Amino acid sequence: MDITGHLDQSESVPRKKRRGISAWLTRNENARGFLLLSPTSVMVGLLLLLPITALIAISFMTQRGFELDTSFTFNNYLTFFNFSEKPIYYTLLGRSLQMSLTATLVTIVLCYPMAYFLAFHVKKHKVMWLIIITVPFWTSYLLRIFAWKVILGYDGVINSGLISIGLITEPLEFLLYNKMAVTITLAHAWIAFALLPIYVSLEKIDRSLLEAASDLGDSPWRRFWRVTFPLSLPGTISAALLVFIPTVGDYVTPQLVGGTEGIMIGNIIQTLFGKVNNAPLGAAVSLMTMLTVTLVVCLFLGGTTVARKLMSRV
C-alpha cells in the first residue's frame, strides 16, 4: 500500500495536477537543500554579515558625546595609522600579533610530543586519554586564567614554594605582569585546541609508510623529519590557526596576568567601546585587527604551501 502511494506521488501523477510549493520541493532536490539551509543562513546573515557590515559603516563615522555623526570620514583610520603623535594602536596590534604568534609556537611545541605519544605509543584506552586531556579545557576560562595569577603572583605558588625550600629569600617579581606570563597562560588555555588536530593527523598516517622508510635505511630521526612530520603538517597548521586567531583578540589574559607591558589590542578595543565610548574608532581598530589577522593567516598558509612544495622536491 505504501509502495503504490509513494509511486503515485512521485511518478504516475501528471505534473499539472501537482502545483504549489510542496510539489516543487518534491521535484527539486536543490530547493529542498536550500530550504533546509535557510534558517541557519538567515541566522548567520543577521548575526554575522549584517553586524560586520554595520561595523564597517560605523568605522567611517564620528562619535560626538552620545550622538553619532553619520557624515563620511576617514579620521578613525587616520587615527589608527597616526605615526607621529600616539603610535598606540598599530604598536599594540603589532605586539599582540607577536605575543599570539609566540603563544601559538609554544602551544604547538608543547602539544606535538604529546600528540605523537598518543598516536604512536599509547596502545590501549586512547579515548580515555583524550577525555582526560580535553576535560580541563571545558572548565571556566576565567578561573583557569586566574589560576595562573595565583601560581605566578607575588605570594603565589612558585614564590612561596621557592621560599619555603630556601632557594630564594625575596619573592621573584618578574614572574607576573609581563609578556612571558601572558604567553604561558595563553598556551595553557588553548592547549586542547592544538592537541586534537595534531593528534588526528598523526593517527591517520599509514604505518606502512613508516616501515618502508625504516626498511629503506632511514634512521628514526631522519624518518620523522622526512615522513612523519610532513604528513602531520595539515593538522599542525590547523592547530596553529585555531590558537592564533582567537588569542589575538583576547583581552582577559592580558588584563589579569599581563600588567601594563602585556596589554594587547583586545584591551584597547574593549576600552574604546566601554569607558572611552568611541564606537567608530573602536570599529576601525577592530576591522584593522581582523584584516591583519586574515592577512597573517593567508601569508602563513601561502608560506606553508611553498614550504611543502620545496620539501616534496628534496
Partner 1 sequence: MAAVAAKPGLPFKISPLGAYAAFFLVFIYGPVLLLPLFSFSDSQYVALPITGFTTQWYEQMFQADQLQGALFNSLKVATVTSIVATALAMMAALALTRYRVPGRSVISGTIILPLVIPGIILGVSILVVMVQVLGVTPSLWSVGAGHLLICTPFGMLILISRLEGFDRSLEEASLDLGETRFVTFFRVTLPLALPGVVASILTTFTLSFDEFILAFFLAGVEPTLPVYIWSQLRFPQRLPSVLALGSIILVVSFAVIAFAEWYRRRDVATGAKPV
Instruction: Report 116-175 residues binding partner 1 (CB under 8 A).
Output: 116-117, 120-125, 127, 130-136, 138-144, 146-148, 150-151, 153, 155-157, 160-161, 164
Least separation in angstroms between CB 299 and partner 1? 15
Q: Tell me the C-alpha distance between 113 and 199, whole Å.
A: 10
Residue numbers 1-30 binding partner 1 by CB under 8 A: 1-3, 5-6, 29-30
Among 23, 246, 259, 296, binds partner 1 (CB under 8 A): 246
Binding mask 33-72 for partner 1 (x = CB under 8 A): xx-xx-xxx-xx--xxxxxx-xx--x---------x----
Q: Which is nearer to partner 1, 35 or 314 (CB)?
A: 35
**Binding of partner 1 by 275 (CB under 8 A):** no
Cell numbers 565610548: residue: 277
Cell matching residue 253: 589574559
Cell matching residue 235: 593538522
Q: Tell me the C-alpha distance between 134 and 197, whole Å.
A: 12
Helices (H), 216-278: 220-223, 229-248, 252-253, 265-273
Least separation in angstroms between CB 81 and partner 1? 19
Among 108, 191, 198, 240, binds partner 1 (CB under 8 A): 191
Least separation in angstroms between CB 151 and partner 1? 6
Q: Which is nearer to partner 1, 12 or 312 (CB)?
A: 12
Q: Tell me the C-alpha distance between 52 and 47, whole Å.
A: 9
What's the alpha-carbon Rg for the chain, to the nearest Å?
Answer: 27
Please name the residues in contact with 261: beta carbons below 8 A apart, sequence gap of 6 or more.
Answer: 177, 178, 179
**Binding of partner 1 by 301 (CB under 8 A):** no
**Binding of partner 1 by 101 (CB under 8 A):** no
Q: Which is nearer to partner 1, 88 or 163 (CB)?
A: 163
Q: How many CB atoms lie within 10 A of CB 150?
A: 13
CB 171 within 8 A of CB 163: yes
